[in-house]
Amino acid sequence: MYLSEKPRPIDFYKEEGRDMMIEVVGNGGLPLQQQPQQQQPQMILAESSGEDHEVKAPKKRAETWVQEETRSLISLRREMDSLFNTSKSNKHLWEQISAKMREKGFDRSPTMCTDKWRNLLKEFKKAKHQERGSGSAKMSYYKELEELLRDRNKNAAYKSPTLSKVDSYIQFSDKGLEDASIPFGSVEATGRSTLNLERRLDHDGHPLAITTADAVAASGVPPWNWRETPGNGGESHSYGGRVISVKWGEYTRRIGIDGTADAIKEAIKSAFGLRTRRAFWLEDEDEVVRSLDRDMPLGNYTLHLDEGLTIKVCFYDESGRIPVRTEEKTLYTEEDFRDFLTRRGWTGLRELSGFRSVDTLDDLRPCAMYQGVRLLGD
C-alpha cells in the first residue's frame, strides 16, 4: 500500500558539482529514479568505467518532504551526529542516511538529504530570529533540531568550527512548545489548520472531507503538511460524529469514523502523516484486529505498521561476475517489489544460496542474499 496519492518524488541524484543527475545502478541496471515521461530531460551521458551515468536535467522540484520523512531525516542525522564531526568528508554518512531513508520507503538521495538538512537549519534560524518567543507554529517543527543542537552543546568532545554560530540560536526555548506530548507537526496555538488533503477531499465531495480535518483538529495536532492559513486559525470546531482514539507509539490521535473504510484509512494516514507503502491495521484493547468501518466499536485502538520484509541484494559489475556492493532492502508490498525490480531492469531475484529464482514478494526469505535477474539479451 503506497500511502501517497502524489506522484513519486523525482530524485535527481547529484553526485558532483551539484549538477542534476539520475542515479544509475552500478551493474548496468535502469535508473533508480526516472523522470516523468512528460518531462524527459536532455540526457548527456558520461560514461565513467561502469560508474554512474550523469544526466543533466532542467530544474525540477522533488516532492515536498512530509512530516514522517523530515522526522526520519532528523532522527537519522541526530543518531549519526557524532560521526559527522569526526570525519573529513561526510559524504558517505549522507549516503548511509539516504540508504536508511530508502529502507523506510522514502526515496531521497544523499544530496536531497543534505539540502533538506541545510534548509531545515536555515529555516530554524530564520524562524528564531523572526518569531522569538511568539510560540509560533513553525518553531515546533524544529524542536528536535533544537534538542540535537542542545545535545551537541552538552557534549564537550564535540568540536565544530560552526558550533558557536549554531549555538547562538539554541538558547531560545519556546515554552509553549515544550510539551512532550506534542510529537510533531505544525501547531497553531490558538486553533486549527487546514490540510492539503482536506481541501482536496472537500473539493471532491469526499464523505470524510470534514471528518478528517475535525478529527485531527480534535487532537489539537495537525499533520506535518498542514498549513496555517488566514481565516482558519481562530475557531476550533468540535466534531460531533463517531470518533475512535488511535495510539501509535507515544502518539495518540482521534479519528472520525463516519466515512467509508477508505476514508477512515485516509484519516488515519493524515493524522499520523503516513506516506510509505506500509500496510497498517488497528487492534483493539483486546488485541483483536478490527476492520475499518463506520460501525466499528468506539474506543481505544493501537495502530500497527507492517514491519516489511528485509532482504539483502548483491550488486555486480557489468560483467555480472564481480560483486560491487550489497544493500539491504525492506519491501512492504508486491507493488513495492515490482517497483524495485523495474527500476533496476530486473525481472526477478535469484537467491545466492541455493540459486532459487524468486519473482514474487511471498517467495522472498527474510535476510537472504539475492542478486538481480535480467531478461536474456539485455
Partner DNA sequence: GTGGTGGTTAATGTGC
Partner DNA sequence: GCACATTAACCACCAC
Residues in contact with DNA by the rule CB under 7 A: 6, 10-12, 14, 17-20, 58-62, 64-65, 84-85, 88-91, 111-112, 115-116, 118-119, 121-123, 125, 160-162, 165-166, 194, 196, 199, 225, 227, 229-231
Contact 328, 356 (CB under 8 A): no
Cα-based torsion angle of the residue sequence 79, 339, 369, 105 in order, rounded to the nearest 10 degrees: 10
Q: Which is nearer to DNA, 81 or 351 (CB)?
A: 81
Least separation in angstroms between residue 253's CB and DNA is: 20
By C-beta, is 58 or 234 nearer to DNA?
58
- Of 27 and 70, nearer to DNA (C-beta) is 70
Tell me the three state secondary structure of residue 112.
helix
Taking the complex as a whole, the smallest distance from the CB of residue 162 to DNA amounts, in Å, to: 3
Q: Rounded to the nearest whole angstrom, what is the least distance from the CB of residue 333 to DNA in the complex? A: 24
Q: How near is the Cβ of 84 to DNA at its closest, in Å? A: 5
Q: What is the DSSP code string of 184-251?
A: SS---TTS--B-HHHHHHHHHT-TTHHHHHHHHHHHT---TT-B--TTSSS--PPP-S-EEEEEETTE
Name the burial class of residue 225, with classes exposed (0-12), middle (13-18) and buried (19+) by CB atoms within 10 angstroms of its CB. Answer: buried
Q: Which is nearer to DNA, 58 or 320 (CB)?
A: 58
- Pick the closest to residue 261 from 304, 306, 208 (CA basis): 208
CB-based contact 303:3 (threshold 8 Å): no
Which residue, 17 or 377, is less far from DNA as judged by CB? 17
Least distance CB 161 / DNA (angstroms): 4
DSSP state of 300: E
Q: Which is nearer to DNA, 16 or 47 (CB)?
A: 16
**Rounded (10°) CA dihedral 336, 337, 341, 343:** 10
Work out how close the CB of 334 gets to DNA at its nearest, in angstroms, rounded to a whole number.
Answer: 27
Q: How far is the CB of 83 from DNA (least distance, A)?
A: 11
Q: Are strands 369-373 and 280-283 parallel, antiparallel or unpaired?
A: unpaired
Closer of 138 and 370 to DNA (Cβ):
138
Would you call 342 helix, strand, or coil by DSSP? helix
